Amino acid sequence: MLTENGLVLELMRYRKQLESDMLPEVWTKLEAPVYVILSDICKTLGLSSADTASVLGVDATLQMLSMLEVRIYPVPCKGEPLCTRQTKAYIFVRQEGMINLATYRALCPFWSDETLRLDLQGMVNCGILVKHGKCKGTYYTLAEESQ
């Protein structure tokens, strides 16, 4: 029997094979998305959200986030869903426990530091993230974990 880590690696290999088998079609854009099936498999096996995100990959995880009900994932104060950049940051913080501006810049390289800083500050203002430190030492964690 596979360990949980071995199972995650095997499912990741399965996803990569699905991706290559479906070329030139992007696997997250199919009418009946395969990533939903993979997500259900992960849920049935009781994998953590971090392991499920590893199995699905970033693109499919973002697609899943857009499909899920708003109440499951945080929504900024004005009732608007998180933008794609903020969703990437949120997923990263859920997986890694924290994010800083340099890491966010690596996730979203085509955006200015000021835009990214404002994204993070907006998530702080809405109670999604908590800011720690000042200047270059600033990092952010999930609000639910810091209470």
How is the chain split into domains, by residue range? 4-67, 84-146
pTM above 0.85, yes or no: no
**pLDDT at residue 100, rounded to an integer:** 94
For 33-51, write each residue's pLDDT tens digit.
Answer: 677 778 888 888 888 877 8
For 16-34, write each residue's pLDDT tens digit.
Answer: 887 777 777 665 555 556 7
**pLDDT at residue 104, rounded to an integer:** 93
**pLDDT at residue 68, rounded to an integer:** 56
B/e letters for 85-100, b = 16+ CB within 10 Å, e = fewer, are: bbbbbbbbbbeeeebe
Residues 41 and 28: their CA atoms lie apart, in Å, by 16
What sign does the CA torsion over 85, 12, 65, 28 have? Answer: positive
75 pLDDT band (50/70/90 cuts)? low
Which CATH architecture does the domain made up of 84-146 adopt? Answer: Orthogonal Bundle (1.10)
- Cβ(77)–Cβ(126) below 8 Å: yes
Residue, of 20 and 134, whose pLDDT is higher: 134
